[in-house]
Amino acid sequence: MDGTLSGLLVGLDVALAGMLVGFAAMMLTTPNLFKSIVLFIVFGLLMAITWARLGAIDVAIAEAAIGAGLTGALFLNARRDLETLHQRRRGERWDAAGTRGETLPAEPRRWGPWLACAVATVPILLIVAWVVLTAPARLEGMGPEAFAALDDSGVRNPVTAVLLNFRAYDTVLEITVLLLAVVAAWSQRVGAFPKADGPPGPVLHAAVRLLTPLAVLVGGYLVWRGTHAPGGAFQAGAVLAGAGVLVLLGERWLPRCGRGGAMRLGLAAGVLSFVVAGLAGLFMDGRFLFYRGARAAGWIVAIDVAATVSIALALIGLFASRPPARGEDA
């Protein structure tokens, strides 16, 4: 029985790894842009399964939400704008659903760059293989120290403890980078969020009405669980962003937010909360972003909630790709 079990496990891992590599290869070699986008979405889904199989549940949730769903939507947006541009240049009318095939100019296949990449990759592969094969069976890393300090960190989920307490600097900078990305994206265009061709229809309305509250609920659930089980700000933020994207695509309840002051404040909230917590740590314990013990739990929850709001708004803002127009939606 045990032989079959480990055999099946190996089979599962080989199948997953093989499919991942296969999809990546297809995605990179196809001249059809839409095909590569779909392959990317599907690759993200497989990646989430792989993370789950490896035991990294927090990463799996984040990958499923951000990598598969949201990035897929972002790519589809971008592709649509590209296609529109190309067709406008050629003076054609938009051809829906690709019945005539792709209109982006397909580049002729050149093998030179591929060969150069393959040759350059071989020594890297050899080094990685050598490192993997000669590494000790169990790498200790900082695991034991982190687990030992877990009680002092204020949460019971080691991943959240590392993200929001032990390595909080990394997370602050990540959220800042996300904010900068939104600023960069928003500076590209202005105007109202473009509506799609044709009315949304009753099915989409019903779906948005059903799914959005559920997504908000799941997002809140993930944030709350982040303290003691897989979950946290990034995952919850991504799910909430999904809800926001649903509302935007459903085009029925476009929230009015004037000049978007509330949204901008929400975007900044994540970084701000980190700064406040950091300064508090500076004044009370002499080190920036240092909190331990009973106080830590409160700070972490506050930062978690603020970061969730920031991440959700940032992802929605990236999808909308334009700042909120006056009197229109966010």
Alpha-carbon gap, residue 299 to 290, rounded angstroms: 10
Residue 17 and residue 41: Cα distance in Å, rounded?
16
Q: Tell whether residue 278 is a contact of another protein (CB under 8 A).
A: no
- The footprint of another protein on residues 29-58 (CB under 8 A) is 34-35, 38-39, 41-42, 45-46, 48-49, 52-53, 55, 57
User: Of 55 and 123, which CB lies nearer to another protein in the complex structure?
Assistant: 55
Note whether 194 binds another protein by CB under 8 A: yes
CB of residue 207 to another protein, shortest distance in Å: 4
320 binds another protein (CB under 8 A): no
In the set 162, 179, 239, 300, which binds another protein (CB under 8 A)? Answer: 239
Q: Which is nearer to another protein, 195 or 287 (CB)?
A: 195
First-last CA distance in the chain? 57
Q: What's the CA angle centered on 266, arms 260 and 270, to 5 degrees? A: 150
Q: Does 232 bind another protein (CB under 8 A)?
A: no
DSSP secondary structure of 29-60: H-S-HHHHHHHHHHHHHHHHHHHHHTT-HHHH
> Which of residues 68 and 305 has its CB atom nearest to another protein in the complex?
68
Distance from the Cα of residue 330 to its chain's centroid: 20
Whether residue 173 contacts residue 308, with contact meaning beta carbons closer than 8 Å, is answered with: no
Number of chain residues interacting with another protein (CB under 8 A): 76
- Establish if 191 lies at the interface with another protein (CB under 8 A): no
Binding of another protein by 196 (CB under 8 A): yes
Side chain identity, residue 41? I
Please pick, from the candidates 198, 283, 286, 294, the single residue that binds another protein as defined by CB under 8 A.
198
Task: Mark 220-252 as b/e (b = at least 16 C-beta within 10 Å).
Answer: eebbebbbeebbbbbbbbbbbbbbbbbbbbbbe
Interacting residues with another protein between 200 and 219 (CB under 8 A): 200-201, 203-204, 206-207, 210-211, 214-215, 218
Sign, CA dihedral 79-46-15-56, equals positive
By CB under 8 A, is residue 238 in contact with another protein? yes
Tell me the three state secondary structure of residue 322.
coil
Within 75-134, the residues that bind another protein by CB under 8 A are 76-77, 80, 84, 87, 94-99
Nearer residue to another protein within complex by CB, 70 or 303: 70
Scanning 8-16, 118-126, 127-135, 301-309 for contacts with another protein by CB under 8 A, the matching segment is: 8-16
For residue 96, the 8-state DSSP code is G
How far apart CA 84 and CA 199 sit, in angstroms, is 20
Residue with smaller CB distance to another protein, 249 or 262? 249
